[in-house]
């Protein structure tokens, strides 16, 4: 097995130079660095990560605590984190906190005890214990997707990255109100999460922009997961005057809503139209294809890695919060006409904000409450 001394001899440099290249502890001339890397490759040298961590006090590992198993949205974020970490020579230790505050604190502690250099965490609805632990141990941390407020008297600095939520949800609502819908239900996420609060704000903003009143009976909570969303959607459909349109707060809840509609023999968009927050890899395969606000999931993950590495390099710098825009993906679950066959044969590129196509509003589907329409709101939503 090749050693560091073998690499140094093969490259014609000192052992110290090899160490600097491996640990990035000092600037090395480009041609010298390349000679060392070539020697490592030719000899098949494998660095001793444990020994290196004893010298540098760094393990070149990142702890990632997200509900990737119970929430499919985080799978794409995980891919972005993994790609960003690998690009910079970091490994990942992953734990699923299951959106449970107590379990969240335990898994973060376990990751910290394994001497990760920093953390990337999607915090729960009640992150007080988490914040307390991270602050006490001064763990470099980036929060992703969900935003938290640090205590006013805390000197602890953390960075945050996630998507915009208010405007994209308001855009979905504006699309539905432009089609003539006046009773629009929302299946919102777990109370306490910033994403839930902000998307509800977008829902209400969309109503207000269309001059429509907010009706609390049309807002239900699906706890950010499929089963609860199925039950919540059922309660909306059981109203004396059900909604004619529905928006869902994340992809898991979209699945639950679709199950509730299927169990009642209702179809989208003929009986009720649907728009969702979060796009799916398979959303284009549903019948009908789902109109959605698409989050830049992989970029959120990659940006979280960049923020964490910046924090590790400059522990005292000011905390940063990064918001990334969503894209409006116009398909057919909103009741708009299908795309031409030629467009269906190629992958769709999500439209960015500000370039939304305005659909034609013709016939009963476009204006469920227009006088003389063959579909009244009651029929359009089938109780």
The CA angle 15-16-19, to the nearest 5 degrees, is 90
Q: What is the structure's pLDDT at 48? A: 57
Sign of CA dihedral 163, 168, 170, 173: negative
Q: What is the structure's pLDDT at 140? A: 96
Topology (CATH) of 166-295+326-381: Rossmann fold (3.40.50)
First vs last C-alpha separation in the chain: 73
Q: What is the structure's pLDDT at 358? A: 34
- Superfamily of segment(s) 4-56: lambda repressor-like DNA-binding domains (1.10.260.40)
Q: pLDDT (tens digit, 9 = 90+) per residue, 46-68?
A: 765 545 544 545 678 999 999 86
Q: Which helix (H) or strand (E) segment is 95 a member of?
A: strand 91-95
Encoding tokens for residue 121?
């965490």
Beta bridge partners of 321: 160
Spatial CA neighbour of 365 closest among 245, 261, 283, 247 = 245
Q: What is the structure's pLDDT at 47? A: 66
Q: pLDDT (tens digit, 9 = 90+) per residue, 361-383?
A: 333 333 433 333 333 333 333 32
d(CA 99, CA 67): 7
Q: What is the structure's pLDDT at 213? A: 97
Q: What is the structure's pLDDT at 75? A: 84
Pick the CATH number of 61-164+298-324 from 3.40.630.30, 3.40.50.2300, 3.90.1150.10, 3.10.50.40: 3.40.50.2300
Q: pLDDT (tens digit, 9 = 90+) per residue, 314-355?
A: 999 999 999 999 999 999 999 998 654 333 333 333 333 333
Same fold, 61-164+298-324 and 166-295+326-381: yes
Strands 273-277 and 291-294: parallel
Which DSSP symbol is given to 357?
Answer: P
**pLDDT < 70 stretches in the chain:** 47-58, 68-71, 283-284, 338-383
Place of tokens 């549903």: 286
Task: Delimit the domains of the chain by residue range.
Answer: 4-56, 61-164+298-324, 166-295+326-381
Q: What is the pTM of this model?
A: 0.75
């Amino acid at each position: 097995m090749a050693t560091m001394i073998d690499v140094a001899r093969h490259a014609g440099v000192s052992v110290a130079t090899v160490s600097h290249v491996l640990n990035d502890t000092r600037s090395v001339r480009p041609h010298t660095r390349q000679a060392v890397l070539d020697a490592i490759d030719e000899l098949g040298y494998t660095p001793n990560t444990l020994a290196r961590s004893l010298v540098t006090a760094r393990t070149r590992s990142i702890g990632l605590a997200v509900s990737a198993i119970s929430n499919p949205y985080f799978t794409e974020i995980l891919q972005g984190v993994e790609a960003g970490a690998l690009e910079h020579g970091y490994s990942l230790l992953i734990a699923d906190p299951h959106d449970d505050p107590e379990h969240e604190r335990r898994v973060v502690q376990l990751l910290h005890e394994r001497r990760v250099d920093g953390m990337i965490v999607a915090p729960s609805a009640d992150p007080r214990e988490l914040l307390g632990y991270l602050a006490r141990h001064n763990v470099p941390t980036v929060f992703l997707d969900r935003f938290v407020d640090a205590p006013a008297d805390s000197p602890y600095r953390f960075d945050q990255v996630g998507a915009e939520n208010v405007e994209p949800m308001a855009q979905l609502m504006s699309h539905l109100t432009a089609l003539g819908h006046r009773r629009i239900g929302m299946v919102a996420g777990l109370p306490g999460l910033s994403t839930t609060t902000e998307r509800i704000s977008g829902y209400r903003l969309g109503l207000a922009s269309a001059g429509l009143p907010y009706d609390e009976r049309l807002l239900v909570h699906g706890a950010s997961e499929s089963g609860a969303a199925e039950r919540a959607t059922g309660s909306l459909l059981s109203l004396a005057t059900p909604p004619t349109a529905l928006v869902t707060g994340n992809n898991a809840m979209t699945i639950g809503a679709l199950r509730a509609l299927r169990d009642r023999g209702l179809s989208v968009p003929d009986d009720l139209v649907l728009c969702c927050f979060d796009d799916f890899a398979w959303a284009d395969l549903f019948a009908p294809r789902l109109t959605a606000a698409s989050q830049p999931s992989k970029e959120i993950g990659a940006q979280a890695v960049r923020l964490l590495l910046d924090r590790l390099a400059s522990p005292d710098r000011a905390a940063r919060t990064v918001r990334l825009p969503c894209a409006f993906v116009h398909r057919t679950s909103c009741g708009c006409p299908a795309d031409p066959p030629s467009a269906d044969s190629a992958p769709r590129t999500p439209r960015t904000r500000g370039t939304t196509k305005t659909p034609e509003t013709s016939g009963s589907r476009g204006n469920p409450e227009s006088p003389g329409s063959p579909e009244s709101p009651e029929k359009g939503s089938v109780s």
